[in-house]
């Protein structure tokens, strides 16, 4: 019964916040008037209020209201009553710490699995997998756990980057990092390029995005490209 | 009494493992015959044995022996008895997990503060700061803590990368990530570019590296460049 959209990024190059997703968001939130926004990931350290305003400006363009979860007296109850939910990007460690701090993980799992429309971008997509162990973020705070919602049976690596040809930099490539992940973890990983998203609807998990492939990583397999419109339910 | 060399990377573009540091390593390890190597960070998931061989091949060139800590029955005792220590790069989360697992943090702090020569590269340098909260690595395992050795009073960001001009990628730059760190943490951060290192000797902490500056980050200050040979003791 999950009805969700998990995007690699909120904004693509040359675009404005969420604009490339508007058509899909109208569909996701078709029966929703007010969306509860989770601003905990605080990109560049902006405040919850500033971040909520950004989301509000974008959603006004498709006739939806936004209310920040921090403005509710009881955040767990806010999630239980929400018509729709959106978790914005930023720092996954900060986001997950505050979700645990507010005891929101079980409530989110419950309502999203019961069909409350859920949008995640970047860190907000990352938490839809079983853990943030494939986050790209800097571990600036220590969360009580890396375990997250498990709405999809694989981990997501947002903002997936291909190795830069002829790079002189000796830091690990994204592919190397995900291979290291599979030395210690069994679950598959989807490297989701900017402009790609995953749509979960009618009990199917489908890769979306204009003309983009995603990169699939399974333990002990060679990484491979996944075409748009591929059903990802085979990944377990 | 600390006698240590903390390098951004083990290998610079076009070079072989550690070769750009050989002169400095002869000085660091001048009274050392056998160096205890900590291979726990396992870059690309290689085994402890494979990783130790890499270090052995490099150190043979300057007449030093390497022995992997995993070959000792009692790793804590191995550190206490070590003439010199080297922690190689790889994944900081994996490294720190195993350091805690083997109860090595207090032993390392004790002997390094008492003058046992210590070399760190990349993740091995990262752990010389108070925490791995400025690591670039993927959090593929969940360590019991992010707290590390605190041999220097600031955090290190190894493989420091400047923003790529005209990039179309929307992931955070390194500078943005470190600014986010300072929303939640007070200690300074040194962005150490590949080819740079920090030398701690005679109670001074000095930036080294051929013609390279490092990037300094202090809470509520504009980031700034630091010249080679600058004493970093002012960072507290």
Instruction: Answer whether residue B231 is part of any domain.
Output: no
Residue B159 among the catalytic residues: yes
Query: Is A39 inside any structural domain?
Result: yes
Asked, for residue B47, whether it belongs to a domain, the answer is yes
Q: How far is CA B194 from CA A177, B151, B209, B226, in A?
A: 19, 21, 9, 14
Look up A159 and say whether it is catalytic. Answer: yes
Give the pLDDT score at A187: 97
A222 domain-assigned: yes
Q: Span A20-31, mean pLDDT?
A: 97
Residues 6+ apart with CB under 8 A from A234: none
Please work out, in degrees rounded to the nearest 5, the angle formed at the alpha carbon of residue B172 by the alpha carbons of B171 and B176. 170
Residues A209 and A228 sit within 8 Å (Cβ to Cβ): yes
Tell whether A185 is within 8 A of chain B (Cβ). Answer: yes
For residue A124, what pLDDT band results from cuts at 50, 70 and 90?
very high
What is the helix, strand, coil percentage profile of chain B, to 5?
30, 20, 50
Q: Does A80 touch chain B (CB under 8 A)?
A: no
pLDDT tens profile A100-109: 999 999 999 9
- For residues B67 and B64, what is the distance between their CA atoms, to the nearest angstrom? 10
Encoding tokens for residue A154?
Answer: 């694989």
What's the gap in Å between the CA of B174 and the closest CA on chain A? Answer: 9
Q: And the tokens for B134?
A: 């400025």
The DSSP code sequence of B22-91 is: HHHHHHHTTT-SEEEEE-TT-GGG--HHHHHHHHHHHHHTTT-EEEEGGGSS-HHHHHHH-SEEEE--S-
Residues in chain A closer than 8 A to B145 (CB atoms): 142
Whether B180 and A45 lie within 8 Å, measured CB to CB: yes
pLDDT > 70 fraction of chain B, expressed in percent and rounded: 100
Distance CA B203, CA B2 (A): 7
Average of per-residue pLDDT across A101-126:
98
For residue A40, what pLDDT band results from cuts at 50, 70 and 90? very high
Catalytic residue (one of B8, B125, B135, B137): B137
Beta bridge partners of A204: A201
Q: Do A161 and B170 touch (CB under 8 A)?
A: no
The H or E element that residue A22 is part of is helix A22-28
Specify whether the CB–CB gap between A2 and A151 falls below 8 A. yes
Rounded (5°) CA angle A47-B156-A46? 5
**Is residue B234 situated within a structural domain?**
no
pLDDT at B210 over 90: no
**A136 chain-B contacts, CB cut-off 8 A:** 138, 171
* pLDDT tens per residue across span B96-155: 999 999 999 999 999 999 999 999 999 999 999 999 999 999 999 999 999 999 999 999
The A residues from 197 to 236 touching B (CB cutoff 8 Å) are none
pLDDT at A171 over 80: no
Beta bridge partners, B7, equal B121, B197
For A:117-146, CB contacts with B below 8 A are 132-142, 145-146
Tens of pLDDT, residues B164-176: 777 777 777 899 9
pLDDT digit string, tens, across residues B30-86: 999 999 999 999 998 999 999 999 999 999 999 999 999 999 999 999 999 999 999
Is residue A210 assigned to a domain? yes
Assess contact for A93 and A140: CB atoms under 8 A: yes
> A38-55 burial string, b = 16+ CB within 10 Å, else e?
bbbbbbebbebeebbebb
Tell me the two tokens of residue B27. 């000085």
Q: Name the B residues in 2-31 with CB < 8 Å from any A CB.
A: 9-14
Identify the band that residue B220 occupies on the pLDDT scale cut at 50, 70 and 90: very high
Give the residue numbers spanning the domain of A206. Answer: 4-226
Å between A76 CA and nearest CA of chain B: 24
HEC per residue, B141-168:
CCCCCCECCCCCCCEEECCCCCCCCCCC
- Is B168–A132 a contact, with Cβ atoms under 8 angstroms apart? no
- The end-to-end CA distance of chain B, in Å, is 18
**Structure confidence by residue, pLDDT tens digits, A189-218:** 999 999 999 999 999 999 999 889 999 999
Pairing of strands A155-157, A204-208: unpaired
Tell me if ipTM is over 0.95.
no
Does residue A235 lie within any of the structural domains?
no
Is A183 within a domain? yes
Catalytic residue among B122, B131, B135, B196: B122
CATH number at residue B187: 3.40.50.880
**Per-residue pLDDT at B201 exceeds 80:** yes
Q: Is the pLDDT of residue A17 over 80?
A: yes
pLDDT for the residue numbered B94 = 98
Indicate the number of domains in chain A: 1
B183 and A CB contact within 8 Å: yes
pLDDT at A13: 87
B155 in reach of chain A (CB within 8 A) = no
């Amino acid at each position: 019964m999950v009805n969700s959209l998990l995007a690699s990024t909120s904004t693509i190059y040359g675009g404005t916040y969420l604009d490339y997703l508007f058509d899909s968001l109208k569909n996701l939130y078709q029966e929703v008037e007010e969306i509860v926004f989770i601003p905990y990931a605080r990109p560049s350290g902006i405040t919850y209020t500033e971040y909520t305003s950004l989301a509000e400006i974008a959603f006004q363009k498709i006739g939806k209201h936004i209310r920040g979860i921090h403005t509710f007296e009881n955040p767990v109850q806010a999630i239980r009553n929400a018509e729709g939910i959106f978790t914005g990007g930023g720092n996954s460690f900060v986001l997950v710490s505050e979700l645990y701090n507010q005891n929101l993980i079980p409530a989110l799992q419950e309502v999203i699995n019961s069909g409350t429309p859920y949008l995640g971008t970047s860190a907000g997509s990352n938490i839809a997998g079983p853990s943030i162990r494939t986050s790209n973020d800097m571990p600036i705070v220590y969360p009580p756990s890396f375990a997250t919602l498990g709405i999809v049976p694989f981990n997501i690596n947002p903002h997936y980057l291909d190795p830069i040809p002829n790079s002189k930099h000796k830091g690990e490539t994204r592919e190397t990092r995900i291979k290291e992940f599979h030395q210690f973890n069994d679950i598959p990983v989807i490297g989701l390029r900017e402009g790609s998203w995953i749509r979960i609807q009618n009990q199917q998990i489908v890769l979306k995005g204009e003309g983009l492939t995603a990169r699939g990583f399974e333990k002990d397999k060679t990484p491979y490209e996944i075409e748009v419109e591929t059903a990802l339910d085979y990944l377990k």
